[in-house]
Chain A
């Protein structure tokens, strides 16, 4: 148990560092929308999604209707439906409702990545620990952005902002070494995403992610159905 929690802290901390930087710039948007530091901290702690929160602060600034806000938050966070469904296959089938709710609450792009990288059945305490540390840093980054505005030099913020993508690479590349279909899917997904961003710039990043994920994964599932022993996840 102690080792699981320590591992959660170890993997959650670098995510939290990247979060702090991203949330800091989000805090500047939140300040523009009129949020107090406390409101920013709570909004970030509960929502913990960059695109979703950006939408939230823009909607508040625009004085949008509540139903509009709900619809926009649903669309910007839709990819979490897929991640939640994918994670459901990594959780023990005897896990109770409360533990499932808590695990679902923890889903962010990066924490989901950690859950997928965990070998075999997911350990909830590992995920919760990593999430809690990263989310507190995320919320604090937003608060700092609201309070302090631009303190970190721009080149540092830029460099920190790629940390998250580095982590994604660390999650998807090792399984690509072991599974040829995954190895092909990574560059195919890169190219499709690049193509879609160029050809359909009106599509928001969240919607693009959902559509491409469904189309590419469905095609791969039709052409290359996985064997039983693979479906539990590529062992790290």
Chain B
């Protein structure tokens, strides 16, 4: 594995991911007026984050019970407007506790 090949690969990956991230932001400069596109872009963030959360969260927890418990705790905390950091900490603690309990019991 030569040094130049690795550096070149890193640069190519960085270039492609930069293009993907910046093209729409630099090309779409105005507020879109078309009602369909406008509505589509309004819904995109929530749908994409939801799709990425489940079932990936359950898999990340390594244990379905821990994963579902964390999803439930996180949803309730977020519903109560707990904020990013508290919700994140609560989900981590839930997984830690649930995994610890299921392993010891």
Q: Show the binding face of A for B, using Cβ within 8 Å.
A: 10-11, 13-15, 18, 33-35, 39, 42-43, 46-47, 49, 52-53, 56, 59-60, 63, 66, 69-70, 73-74, 77-89, 91, 93, 97, 100-101, 103-105, 107, 109, 112-114, 116-117, 155-156, 158-177, 181-182, 185-186, 189-190, 192-194, 197, 205, 208-209, 212-213, 216-218, 220-222, 224-226, 230-231, 233
Contacts and interface: CB of A to CB of B under 8 A. Distances in A.
Contacts of A69: 9, 12-13
Contacts of A66: 8-9, 12
Contacts of A83: 21, 44-45, 48
A79 B17 contact: no
Given A74-B16, A77-B17, A87-B25, A165 B51 contact: no
B51 A169 contact: no
9 contacts: A11-B85, A60-B1, A84-B23, A158-B95, A169-B77, A170-B83, A174-B78, A190-B53, A216-B51
B90 to A, nearest CB: 7
Contacts of A216: 43, 47, 51
Given A170-B82, A230-B42, A60 B47 contact: no
A226 B42 contact: yes
Contacts, number: 298
Given A83-B48, A169-B91, A170-B84, 7 more contacts: A70-B13, A81-B23, A101-B25, A105-B18, A112-B45, A169-B74, A213-B51
A81 B20 contact: yes
Contacts of A156: 96
A225 B39 CA distance: 5
Ranked 10 nearest A-B pairs via Cβ: A104-B22, A166-B91, A173-B78, A189-B50, A221-B39, A46-B14, A165-B57, A85-B24, A159-B96, A84-B24
Contact of A93 (B31, B39, B50): B31
Interface in B29-48: 29-32, 35-48
Nearest to A40: B10
Nearest to A189: B50
B105 interface: no
Given A63-B1, A158-B60, A167 B88 contact: yes
Contacts of B40: 217-218, 220-221
